[in-house]
């Protein structure tokens, strides 16, 4: 039992240690304002990361999410600002479109047995290219609905604000946990990542599950794109480049095995928060370049992958 | 045919035929299984056991014949379909999901749920109850992978039976279990038998066949040899059914050669590994051929793998020229000038896409290290020398080896090791799947190598063949070296009776 949760516990320990270090240097880290911002700034990353966790748990990968976020932003900006579409209708449209897009990728991956890496790489270029077809400019979104939505927030004691988008992220994590651990779909995802052939022999609906996994990932990427557009109030073709890689990093740091079959949603949340923490620290520090975030995440990612290899080797030896 | 018996036939297979390009894997095979019976399915490699099981469970489609379950003609589309029809299979390599919990493995796809949420508590409770009926009291919330293979197998059986299996097929379930685990498994099989389930039990261990089976069916080369109640079947007859030879009236004479004397070139003392082969002593002198005989799964190949360092020995010591040596990997063995041609030529021997030349120089190149590449002219010279010497039939050395016949591939593999000028060669089934002409050539080659002063360890299921060239024969049974035959004892009859005897 202990060994099973070890990766998550280590992630949690790293987060707590990191937080304490930040706190020692900058006492204001304890304020609800910093915590509220941490959640708000990383909301879109957290939402995509939930989808990515399912994908990686099933033994796959989804490289298209960053482009889907950008496409969502551009689509919203163009449809709302240029064509005067109702923002809420635009949200529904883009989420449906993204779900179809994901389902298509899942279908290709399953039916033709093409590696997910290739299919989603193609998806990544496709979605990014579609952004430029719509527009090459950065279009600000000034719809009143945007102003109203970004105003919604829970006031925390101490002056912090738990914004609507942070709440969306927390809700997505809550639903993700239920989906992963308390539904048949969740068990099927873990089964697929454990051993595809065995899963098939045991009667797991492999095709249906694969389609649903990528559908979920793209759907959540679109949701993240909506949240990202609240955050930036604009749609821009070059936005969110490399976010797919940040997301994969968060999932792996959160203790999910890249080979699939093992990991948790809650671990991913901590993984996202660790990334956010590093970012915040570097902002507070002031003298460090923001590239240090990447360097720190790179080092951490490397350490976690080595740790995972070590743990799985140890558990094989223990058998 | 079977007389009408007290129990009805649960499963009735008749005239089953299945062919693959170049092989008739099943040729009009009949097989019947009664409810409440444990039925042993026996045969050597290539007999058609696995094909029969795979046709039965829907992995392969049959070419002809019929399969009736409970009087109904069935044709499974895939293993999941077979399971829903009532045929469950448990493989040696347990096909469950080690990363899921025990309870999830038992209930995946049919978890009790309400409002779309799995009722984990109820699932775990039912899992615990189910396993308790098999005498297994474990924490069902733990991942399956944290339990031993034996426990995993019981869980696989419990799952198959719980999914309404009427027929349970166990494909070599005991191959990686220890004696006590086998005992537990047999108790469970007897319980299931009492519940009226028909069990097909595939194994190589004769003792286990006699311990648990009611009837046996023997296949050989895709054909049915016979079905017999075990109670009236002497061991020697069972072995002769499997190996396909009658006891000869007179012993065949082997090449009369004087016994090889001198100090052993290689020696193994108390060498063994748990669950692989029990500790054994083995000495081989220069110019001597030692044969390893036994049924499939008796520990022949396992012995070869230990000796060549593919598996690492847990006990004992190896000696070369009387000096202790360490053989922890094939690399070590190769450095000691050992050579090994594996049983499975296609997957463990040849590199099919590479040319004959590249295959021949492979071991020599590996010994020298990749930084010291053998000059191309030297490569050509080595390849052509062996092609001529071993009479490998090919237009030239650049032909991909996969296009050669089995016999010529085998010769090229021998050439690979001969190029390294070995002192000790291990040949695992060197004549399997080779046409008659090449067969004789390989045997002549073995004798010639021996005359050249090599020490040879040869594994073969062909008793006559092994008796013809071996100076001594070690007989294995149930992963144990049970007896060493030498001198006039080296003949096919003695080998067969030794295989069939039991202490």
Min Cα distance A60 → chain B (Å) is 16
Interface residue A261 vs chain B (CB under 8 A):
yes
Q: pLDDT for A300-315, tens place per residue?
A: 888 887 877 777 677 6
How far is A189 from chain B, CA to nearest CA, in Å? 10
Q: Is A204 on the interface with B (CB under 8 A)?
A: yes
- Which residue in B has a C-alpha nearest to residue A57's C-alpha? B99
Does A290 contact B at CB distance below 8 Å? no
Domain count across chain A: 1
| A2 vs B: CB within 8 A | no
Which pLDDT score is estimated for A3?
A: 59
B137: which DSSP letter? -
Q: What range defines the domain where residue A44 resides?
A: 2-318
| Superfamily of the domain at B9-243 | P-loop containing nucleotide triphosphate hydrolases (3.40.50.300)
What is the least distance, in Å, from the CA of A232 to any CA of chain B? 37
Confirm or reject contact between A184 and chain B (CB < 8 A).
yes
Q: What is the mean pLDDT of chain A?
A: 91
In this predicted model, which residue has the larger pLDDT, B1 or A35?
A35
Is residue A209 predicted with pLDDT exceeding 80? yes
Whether B120 sits inside 8 A of A182 (CB atoms) is yes
Q: Is the dihedral of CA B73, B77, B78, B84 positive or negative?
A: negative
> Which residues in chain A touch residue B141, judged by CB atoms under 8 angstroms apart?
1
Confidence at A14, pLDDT banded by 50, 70, 90:
confident
- In tens, the pLDDT along B192-210 reads 999 999 999 998 788 888 9
Partner-chain contact A191 B100, CB within 8 Å: yes
Q: What is the model's pLDDT at position B253?
A: 42
- Residue A266, CA distances (Å) to A53, A66, A189, A256 in order: 10, 22, 16, 10
Give the residue on B whose Cα is nearest the Cα of A178: B117
Average pLDDT over residues A23-36: 90
pLDDT at B3 (0 to 100)? 45
Q: Which residues from A are below 8 Å from B118, CB to CB?
A: 182-184, 186-187
User: What dihedral angle (degrees, nearest 10) is formed by the CA atoms of B76, B77, B79, B83?
Assistant: -50
Residue spans of the domains in chain B: they are: 9-243, 250-337+422-503, 359-420
Other Cβ atoms closer than 10 A to A137: 13
* Residue-level pLDDT at A4: 65
ipTM of the complex: 0.85
DSSP label at residue B435: -
Asked whether the beta carbons of residue B95 and residue A182 sit closer than 8 angstroms, the reply is: no
For residue B113, give the nearest of A178, A184, A188 by CB distance. A184
The reported pLDDT for the residue numbered A292 is 83
Range from A97-106, A139-148, B221-230, B389-398 carrying the lowest mean pLDDT: B389-398
Is residue A315 less than 8 Å (CB to CB) from chain B? yes
How is B154-215 classified by DSSP, letter by letter?
HHHHHHHHHTT-SEEEEESTTTT--HHHHHHHHHHHHHHHHTT-EEEEE-S-HHHHHHH-SE
Burial code (b: 16+ CB inside 10 Å, e: under 16) for B204-230 equals bbbebbbebbbbbbbbbebbbbebbeb
What distances in angstroms separate CA A21 from CA A30, A158, B326, one per listed residue?
12, 21, 51
- Judged by a CB distance cut-off of 8 A, whether residue B97 touches chain A is yes
Query: Which chain A residues contact residue B97 at CB under 8 A?
Result: 190-191, 194-195, 198-199, 202, 261
What is the band of A124 on the pLDDT scale with cuts at 50, 70, 90? very high
B98 part of contact set with chain A, CB < 8 Å: yes
Which of A:224-243 have CB within 8 Å of B?
none
Q: Residues of chain B whose pLDDT is less than 50?
A: 1-5, 249-254
In this complex, the residue of A4, A201, A205 whose CB is nearest that of residue B95 is A201
Residue A74 is part of a domain; what is its CATH number? 1.10.3470
Q: Matching CATH topology for B9-243 and B250-337+422-503?
A: yes
Q: What mean pLDDT do residues A128-152 have?
A: 90
Interchain CB distance below 8 Å, B117 and A182: yes
For residues A87-106, average pLDDT: 96
pLDDT of residue B67: 93
Cβ pair B108:A261 closer than 8 A: no
Task: Choose the CATH number for B250-337+422-503 among 3.20.20.80, 3.40.50.1220, 1.10.760.10, 3.40.50.300.
Answer: 3.40.50.300
How many Cα atoms are found within 13 Å in the side-chain-facing hemisphere of A204?
A: 31
d(CA A218, CA A238): 18
A190: nearest CA in chain B? B100
The angle formed by the CA atoms of residues B329, B330 and B333, to the nearest 5 degrees, is 95
Percent of chain A with pLDDT over 70: 97
Both tokens of B267, joined, read: 């020696």
- Tell me if the pTM is above 0.80: no
């Amino acid at each position: 039992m202990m060994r099973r949760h070890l990766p998550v516990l280590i992630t949690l320990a790293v987060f707590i240690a990191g937080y304490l270090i930040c706190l020692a240097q900058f006492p204001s880290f304890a304020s609800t304002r910093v915590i509220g911002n941490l959640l708000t700034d990383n909301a879109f990353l957290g939402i995509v990361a939930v989808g990515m966790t399912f994908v990686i748990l099933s033994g796959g990968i989804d490289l298209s999410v960053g482009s889907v976020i950008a496409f969502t932003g551009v689509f919203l900006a163009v449809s709302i600002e240029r064509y005067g579409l109702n923002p809420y209708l635009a949200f529904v449209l883009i989420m449906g479109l993204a779900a179809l897009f994901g389902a298509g990728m899942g279908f290709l991956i399953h039916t033709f047995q093409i590696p997910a890496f290739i299919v989603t790489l193609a998806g990544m270029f496709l979605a990014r290219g579609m952004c430029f077809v719509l527009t090459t400019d950065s279009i600000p979104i000034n719809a009143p609905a945007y102003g109203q939505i970004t105003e919604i927030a829970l006031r925390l004691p101490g002056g912090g604000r738990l914004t609507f988008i942070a709440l969306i992220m927390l809700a997505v994590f809550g639903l993700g946990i239920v989906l992963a651990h308390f539904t048949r779909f969740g068990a099927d995802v873990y089964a697929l990542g454990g051993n595809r052939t065995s899963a098939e022999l045991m009667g797991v609906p492999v095709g249906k599950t694969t389609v649903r996994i990528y559908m979920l990932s793209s759907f959540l990427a679109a949701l993240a794109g909506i949240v990202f557009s609240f955050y930036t109030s604009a749609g821009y073709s070059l936005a969110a480049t490399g976010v797919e890689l940040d997301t994969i990093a968060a999932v792996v740091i959160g203790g999910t095995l890249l080979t699939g079959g093992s990991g948790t949603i809650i671990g991913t949340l901590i993984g996202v928060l660790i990334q956010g923490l590093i970012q915040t620290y570097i902002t507070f520090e002031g003298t460090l370049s923001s590239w240090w975030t990447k360097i720190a995440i790179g080092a951490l990612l490397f350490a976690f992958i080595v740790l995972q290899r070590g743990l799985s080797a140890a558990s094989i030896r223990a058998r | 045919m079977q007389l009408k018996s007290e129990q009805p036939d649960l499963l009735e297979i008749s005239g089953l035929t299945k062919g693959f390009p170049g092989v008739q894997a099943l040729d009009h095979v009949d097989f019947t299984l009664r409810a409440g019976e444990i039925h042993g399915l026996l045969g050597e490699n290539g007999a058609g056991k696995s094909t029969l099981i795979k046709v039965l469970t829907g992995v392969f489609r049959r070419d002809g014949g019929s399969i009736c379950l409970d009087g109904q003609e069935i044709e499974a589309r895939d293993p999941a379909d077979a399971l829903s029809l009532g045929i469950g299979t448990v493989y040696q390599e347990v096909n469950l999901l080690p990363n899921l919990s025990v309870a999830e493995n038992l209930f995946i796809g049919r978890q009790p749920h309400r409002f779309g949420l799995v009722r984990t508590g109820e699932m775990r409770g039912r899992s615990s109850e189910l396993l308790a009926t098999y005498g297994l009291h474990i924490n069902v919330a733990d991942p399956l992978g944290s339990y031993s293979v034996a426990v995993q197998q019981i869980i696989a059986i419990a799952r198959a039976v719980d999914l309404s299996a009427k027929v349970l097929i166990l494909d070599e379930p005991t191959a990686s279990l220890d004696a006590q685990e086998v005992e537990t498994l047999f108790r469970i099989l007897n319980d299931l038998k009492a519940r009226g389930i028909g069990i097909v039990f595939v194994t190589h261990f004769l003792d286990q066949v006699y311990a648990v089976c009611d009837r046996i069916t023997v296949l050989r080369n895709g054909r049915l040899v016979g079905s017999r109640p075990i109670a009236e079947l002497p061991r020697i007859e069972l072995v002769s059914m499997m190996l396909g030879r009658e006891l000869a009236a007179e012993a065949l004479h082997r090449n009369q050669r004087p016994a090889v004397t001198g100090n052993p070139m290689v020696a193994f003392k108390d060498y063994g590994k748990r669950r692989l082969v029990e500790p054994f002593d083995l000495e081989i002198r220069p110019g001597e051929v030692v044969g390893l005989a036994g049924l499939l799964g008796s520990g022949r190949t396992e012995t070869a793998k230990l000796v060549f360092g593919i598996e690492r020995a847990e006990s004992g010591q190896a000696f070369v020229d009387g000096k202790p040596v360490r053989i922890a990997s094939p690399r070590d063995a190769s450095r000691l000038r050992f050579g090994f041609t594996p049983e499975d030529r296609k997957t463990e021997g040849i590199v099919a896409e590479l040319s004959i030349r590249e295959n021949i120089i492979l071991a020599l190149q590996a010994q020298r290290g990749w930084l010291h590449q053998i000059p191309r002219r030297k490569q050509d010279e080595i390849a052509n020398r062996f092609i001529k010497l071993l009479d490998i039939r090919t237009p030239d050395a650049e032909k991909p080896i996969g296009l050669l016949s089995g016999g010529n591939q085998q010769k090229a593999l021998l050439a690979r090791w001969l190029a390294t000028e070995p002192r000790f060669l291990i040949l695992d089934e060197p004549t399997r799947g080779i046409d008659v002409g090449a067969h004789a050539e390989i045997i002549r080659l073995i004798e010639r190598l021996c005359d050249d002063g090599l020490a040879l360890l040869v594994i073969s299921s062909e008793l006559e063949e092994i008796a013809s060239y071996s100076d001594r024969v070690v007989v294995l049974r149930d992963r144990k070296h049970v007896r060493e035959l030498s001198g006039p004892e080296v003949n096919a009859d003695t080998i067969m009776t030794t295989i069939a005897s039991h202490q």
